Structure 1
């Protein structure tokens, strides 16, 4: 399941959607939050996330397909929020179910690394009346190198 939405999500509901009767041995999940990115009070900071409908979903599906090709997964759930978000809001959920924990952990980590670097989202941070688009992070790019080995 891949969802792009403005609404918040419920981790417990998403977790339950990953369970496959008598098959699931492990579920690995990651929940990303909007973090404080300024010295201003968090109420003065916001975050806007834009995407290109259709293209972004295909982009995320390609990442999930690659994870499924690398590991024997039972299910994958990716939920990414768009729109205006505030500090401490949930922004992304990645959940993976597998028969064994190793595959679930690795696939969840892989998907998150690729989401941070390759997913078609554009981010803008606002501090009071000032806004700026967020540039690509070199640390995120370095994280991808371990998956090409």
Structure 2
């Protein structure tokens, strides 16, 4: 009887010891994905640049005017498709690709985006521009390191 109890106890200890590394790895994976998700929710570059209330208002105005300009470029059918896709929560990039824009529309959209970018950069201070450039460089470095590790 004692031998059965000792065998059972030894088996339980062995099983516990072999399961600990898996449980620890699961905990690490779980917490790291939570940290990444929390980092994305915090607003990233918008918070890091410390915009003034005036800058935030100007950015909102630029965003709204850009949206209006882009909607004027689209046909009524494309607008319907865009609104339906937004309502269903589709991926933005996939939605725009599915609109089958003409070359002329693509050129107009590019002009609008470039104008938006210029307007946005005009409201930034020199310090914010430097910070933005630094963040772009870091993002490019991360992308290139991911590509190298994937190869």
Structures share fold, TM-score greater than 0.5: no
Indicate the structure whose relative CO is greater, using CA pairs within 8 Å and at least 6 residues apart: 1
Q: TM-score, normalised by structure 1?
A: 0.31
Query: Which structure has the larger Rg over C-alpha atoms?
Result: 2
Bigger fraction of residues in helix: 2
Bigger fraction of residues in strand: 1
Q: TM-score, normalised by structure 2?
A: 0.31
